[in-house]
């Protein structure tokens, strides 16, 4: 492995340690690589400055909430998707209610037809 590779691995390890707020062990990390200490110090200083300077600028909660509403708030789920996650008991009850309702409607219509036929017979 060339010195460049050692240096690249060392810089990666130092950066990871700093990002993980584990900067106390930098000496231990540096000692694990065959790179002269004097060459590394300048880079470590820059990495530390980058770590302290490039801090995040978080978005406002308002923006995050508003965008989420824009993205998915207006998307209505279909009936099937809504029913899919219901407990089986509720699913069975819903199915039974639908069937019962359908039967009731059919029965009422049949009853109406029969009553009408009877009335017509009486008038005749």
Interface residues with another protein (CB under 8 A) are 4, 7-9, 11-12, 15-16, 19, 42-43, 46-47, 49-60, 63-64, 67-68, 70-72, 75, 77, 81, 85-89
Nearer to another protein, 2 or 28 (CB): 2
Q: How many residues are present in the chain?
A: 124
Q: Whole-number minimum distance, CB 7 to another protein, in Å?
A: 6
**Least distance from another protein to the Cβ atom of residue 38, Å:** 13
Residue 49 Cβ, how far from another protein at the closest point, in Å?
5
Residue 34 CB partners (closer than 8 Å, separation 6+):
3, 6
Cα separation of 14 and 29, whole Å?
A: 7
Number of H helices, E strands in the chain: 6, 0
Pick 55 or 124: Cβ nearer another protein: 55
Whether 10 contacts 35, CB under 8 Å:
yes
- In this structure, what are the phi and psi dihedrals at residue 59, rounded to the nearest 5 degrees? -70, 155
Residue 88 or 123 with smaller CB distance to another protein: 88
């Amino acid at each position: 492995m060339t010195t460049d590779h050692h240096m690249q691995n060392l810089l990666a390890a130092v950066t990871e340690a700093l990002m993980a707020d584990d900067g106390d062990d930098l000496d231990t990390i540096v000692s694990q690589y065959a790179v002269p200490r004097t060459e590394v110090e300048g880079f470590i200083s820059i990495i530390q400055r980058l770590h302290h300077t490039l801090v995040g600028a978080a978005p406002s909660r308002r923006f995050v909430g508003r965008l989420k509403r824009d993205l998915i708030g207006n998307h209505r789920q279909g009936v099937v998707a809504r029913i899919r996650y219901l407990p089986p008991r509720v699913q069975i009850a819903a199915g039974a209610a639908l069937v019962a309702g359908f039967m009731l409607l059919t029965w009422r219509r049949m009853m109406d037809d029969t009553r009408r036929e009877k009335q017509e017979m009486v008038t005749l």
